[in-house]
Amino acid sequence: MKLRSLLLGLLAFVFFACPDKDDEIPQGSLNVEATIDGQAWKASGNSRITTVGGFTVFAIGAGATDRSNIALTLDAERTGNFDLAGKAIWTTANQLVYSASSGTLTISSIEGDKVSGTFAFKASPMTGTGPEVTIANGKFTNINIMR
């Protein structure tokens, strides 16, 4: 199960770390927000649904202008609640990577090629040691779904 979660997380990272020119969000489209360790954070989001090895992967990602980003990975395309332990990644502007140790994502709507929802999670450094990061009040609104 850990290997599957890590694979899903890495897959989400790859989807959003190397976007195609056609997949880029227009400037000013800050449709994802959260509070990260007490600081407001806003970013542009996108999502992708694909099948890998017979598994559905629903990857939601958002990147800020300072290069920090959040990647959330699900194994189903549906509304409802999802456990984010091992399925969410926070990368700082300095490219330090944190993996969710606990948290929840709620997909409130999937309408056509748009998805909206909320999220919150606690994350620990993936390498080395360090303090846990708290991502709270996360919200994404009408982000594009690429298929």
Beta bridge pairs of residue 138? 119
Regions of the chain with pLDDT less than 70: 1-29
What percent of the chain is predicted at pLDDT more than 90? Answer: 74
Task: Give all strands (DSSP E) within 54-96, no chain letters.
Answer: 55-63, 69-74, 80-83, 88-91
Beta bridge pairs of residue 62? 45, 70
1-20 per-residue burial string, b: 16 or more CB within 10 A, e: under 16: eeeebeebbebbbebbeeee
Domain ranges of the chain: 2-19+30-146
Residue 29: per-residue pLDDT: 62
Residue 30: per-residue pLDDT: 76
Residue 47: per-residue pLDDT: 95
Residue 88: per-residue pLDDT: 98
